[in-house]
Structure 1
Amino acid sequence: MKHGGDLGSALARFGGLASEWMDLSTGINPHAYPLPDTLPAEAWTRLPAQDALTRLIAAARAAYAVPGDLDLVAAPGTQAILAHLPHVMPDGGVAVVGPTYGSHAEIWRRAGRVVHDLTSPYADLPDDVRLLVIVNPNNPDGRLVDAQSLRHHAEQLAARGGWLIVDEAFADCVPGASVLPHLNGLPVIVLRSFGKFFGLAGLRLGFAVAPRALAERLTVALESWAVPGPALEIGARALEDTAWQDAMRARLADEAADLTLMLQMQGLSVFGGTPLFVLAGTRDAAALHRALARQHVWTRVFDYAPTWLRIGLPDGQAGRARLEAALAAAIAEP
C-alpha cells in the first residue's frame, strides 16, 4: 500500500480544482497544531543550531516516554529514515507483516534483500530472517500487536543477531500502543512520525528511537543539518504542548466514533482503523471510490482487497456532513 495525499491523479481523471476536493486519502489529522504567528528569524536565516536540535530531542523524549538507555534521531520525516535502514542494519532476510504501508517492503527489495511477506504478526519467522518489520498500529486496518508478542519477536531476533523494526506512525493517537516502555535492552528500533498526529505533514519531521550504537550509525547516515530550522522550532513547541496533545486525543477519539456511526448508518461495515482513519467494507469499493471522486471526495482503495475502502477523518462536523451527503448520493447512483 502506497501513501495517499497526492491529488494529481484525481484531478486528472475527475477534474476540478484542488481547493474543491476533500482529501480523505491520508491519515493526517485535519485539526493541525496551530502554527506560530512568527518564528525567530534565525530559524530561517541560519543553519540549524545544535541547541535547537537538543531542545527538539528533549521534547520528543518526554512526549514519547523514551527510556533513558535509548537515543533519538531526528530526520526530515520517517520516510527518510526508511531509506537509510538497509545501510545501517545487519545483512539477512527481512520479513514484513502485511498488508501494510508498501514502502517497508520496497526499500528492502531495492537494496537487494530477500523479503518475506507475512500475513500475521504471530507467524513463525523464516529461518533466514534477521529483520522483522511490524507497523503498530497497522495501516490500513489498525491492528495492534501486544507488547509481550513484540518482545517475543525481539528476543527471537536477538538470538539470530537481528532486529525488530516497529513503525509507530499512528501510535500518538492510541494511548498505550507504544512498545517503547517495554524494550529493556532488546534489539528494537522504533519509528515515530510527527506530521500525522500534529497535522503538519508538510513540515517533514520524524524520529527513530534505538540503542546508542545504531542511533549513531543512523545519525552519520543522515549527515549534518538533516532537520531544517523551522521544523526544529515548531516540532519542539508542539511536542512540549502536552495540554494540546491530551485534548486532541480525546477529540480524535470522539470524531472517529461519530464517523464510524455515520458510515454504518450509510450501510458500510467498519472493521478497522485508528482515530485518524477508518477501514470500511463494501461490496465494490472501487465503484464507491469512483462515485465519491465524481463529487470531489478522495478516498483509498486497495488492489489486493476489492471490498476495502479507507476513509480519513473529515474536518469536523462540516466535513463529516459533506462526506455523509456524498456517500448517500454515491450509493444511490444506478
Structure 2
Amino acid sequence: MNTVSTPTAIKPVDFNTYEKVDGSLVFPELYSKGEVQITRRKFRHQNCVDSNPDYIADEMLLRRALAWWFGLPDPLGFAGETGSGKTELFYYIADKLNEPVYLLQVNGGLMPEMVEGKTSLAQGETVDEMGVVPHAYKHGGLILLDEVDKANKALQSWLHPVLERKPLSLSLTGELIMCHDQTRVGLTANTFGQGGSERYSSSNKLDDALRARPGWLTVKYPEPSVLRNIMAKKFSMIPAGFRKKMCQVALEVQKVTENEDSELSAIFSTRTLVKWGQTMVAFGLNAKVEESLDFVSRGACDPDDWESLQAIYQRILGEDKSSTVGDVLKKYTPVKK
C-alpha cells in the first residue's frame, strides 16, 4: 500500500527560552566546575555577535559587569580611553550568554527620528521599519549605545525613557512601546559626560539626569601581564623577547599620557599595539621595525609631540627600531641546542 508522508511543521524557535549551565563552561576564567550556575538563552539569536577570540577580560571588571547583568535593572556605562576594550567587553559577555546585541553608534549628527526607524518602499507599498533600539526595547536584548557622550541634546532627551525603562513613544508610527523584561542597556564613552575634554573634543556634555541614570565602571588599559598574554595569543611568530619590548612601548606611552594635562598628546592603546603587530607581519621581513610603528601611531599623535614620542620609541627599542623585522626576529629567536 502506498503511503504519502506529510511534511512536519517546523516549530519556530523561542529565543526567550533560558537554560542553566555550569559557570565554568561559560566563564572558565572566573569559575571552577560546580561553583555556580549561569542562566543564559538556550538558543543563539541571529543578532548575536561573535566576540574577539583573543580577547582577555579584566577579572574584576568582568565580575562587576556580570553582577550588573544578573542583579541590577539600571543601565551600565563603561568609560575609558579609546581602544581600552569597552565595547569588546560588552560583546564578550553577550556572546557567552547567547544574548542578541543591538548596536547604536552615536555621533553628534544622530537625531531621534533616525534612531526610531525609517519608512521604505516594499512591493509598491510603504512600510515602517523600526530601528534597532526600539526593536530591542520591545523584544529584548542588549541595547549598546556606543560613544554615548557624542549625543546631541535632542538625542539625549529621547534616550531618557530608554535608560529609565519607561514607555517609549515613537513619532514614526505613534506606537507606545513597553520595555521588555529581558532588555538591558549598555553604554560606552570616552568621558563621564562632563564635557570640555581636550583629548576627546567631540564629546558633549550630557545632561545631569542622563549621566546619573547608569552605573559607571572605568575601563583601563590592560595590566602588563594581560597585555603580554594578548600579544602571545595573536603573535606567536614574534619571539617573546621582542613582544615584551612592544608591550613596553605601549605601557610607557600610556603612562606618560594618562592625564589629560600631560605634556605629550598621543594615544597608544591595546588596539594600536595589536595593529602594530599585524602591520609588522604584513610589511614583511625586509621592512624596518619603525615603518610599521610609525604607520600605526602617526595619526594618534599631535605633530608638535611627534619628536617626543619618537624619543620614547628610541629609548625602549634602541637599535631594534631601525633594524629590519627579519634581523629582529633572528636576534630574539632562541638558539636551539
Q: Same-fold call, TM > 0.5?
A: no
Structure with max Cα Rg: 2
TM-score (norm 2): 0.35
Q: Of the two structures, which has the highest relative contact order with CA contacts closer than 8 Å and spacing of 6 or more?
A: 1
TM-score (norm 1): 0.35
